[in-house]
Structure 1
Amino acid sequence: MSDIDHDRLLRSNLQRVFNERNPEHRAQALSELYVDDPVMFEPDGVVTGREAISAVAGKLLDQFGANFSFRPDGVALGHHCLGLLRWQAGPDGGPVAVTGSDAAEFSGDRIARLWVLLDRQ
């Protein structure tokens, strides 16, 4: 059994990184939640470093509008430094626009690598 709180960390990642519109707050969250040199794997590419991950999160939020957010869908599962959290996203109070999962490899209690998996629509 692992001492990592996968659910808390992956939920914090959704809320404090991918829902955070303030770049300074997002940078602070990244420094607390991620290792120094994280890698994020997206369907269309690989993103390296905290600043680059922050830029991707900010761009997504700008692209989809002020009332768009990511929400956890259930409780994260995990063991042996690997965690998985399903999520959904869309306008607050509106229909779900996209669903997917974040799979994270942890180093200690920080995210080292994150895979963003989108469900087929």
Structure 2
Amino acid sequence: MSNADHTAHSSEEPDYNRLLRSNLEHVFNERDAGKRAAAVAELFVAEPIMYEPTNIVRGRAAISEVAGALLEQFGPAFRFQPEGDAVGHHGLGSLSWKAGPADGPVAVTGSDVAEVVDGRIARLWVLLNPAKT
């Protein structure tokens, strides 16, 4: 690959770190439904799909509802925290995270893998790590 090819391609890549960290902070950590819906509208394409281990979620409103239900289920101190920076290229980005009570033990770890189209998340896979025994 020539240097010119590399430079041209790099300028087209989305900011995977900003996009995936914003998804954690402003969607999956946001308890206000209105703010969460606004973040989903900004970060996701018009008809996104989210793949969870046991569910397929279609549409912005449904993704926002799932995020809100998770926060309700696990209580007011529950938070997702990024682990390191997101990486990505050619429209595919990944961010590892941990989650649990803000000042408590980690309850779950995993990664979000996103297909990014025109700077927005089109498809999101939520991958959970096996529980450590």
TM-score, with normalisation over the residues of structure 1? 0.98
Cα distance in 1 for residues equivalent to 2:54 and 2:34: 26
Q: Which has the higher contact order (CA 8 A, sep 6+)?
A: 1
What SS does structure 1 have at the residue aligned with 2:85?
coil
Unaligned runs of 5+ in 1: none
Give the 5 Å matches for 1:72-91: 72-91=82-101
Match of 1:50 among 60, 81, 93: 60
Quote how far apart the aligned CAs of 1:3 are: 2.3
Quote how far apart the aligned CAs of 1:44 are: 0.2
CA contact (8 A) 2:48 2:123 kept: yes
Deviations 1:40-97 (A, max 9, x none): 0000010000000011000000000001000000110100000000000000111100
What SS does structure 1 have at the residue aligned with 2:36?
helix
- Normalized per residue, which structure has more helix? 2
> What amino acid does structure 2 have at the position aligned with 1:100?
G
What SS does structure 1 have at the residue aligned with 2:125?
strand
User: Which residue of the partner structure matches residue 95 of structure 1?
Assistant: 105
Identity of aligned residues (%): 60
1:32 matches 2:59: no
CA RMSD of aligned residues (A): 0.7
- Poorly superposed stretches of 4+, deviation over 4 Å: none
TM-score, with normalisation over the residues of structure 2? 0.89
User: Which residue of the partner structure matches residue 113 of structure 1?
Assistant: 123
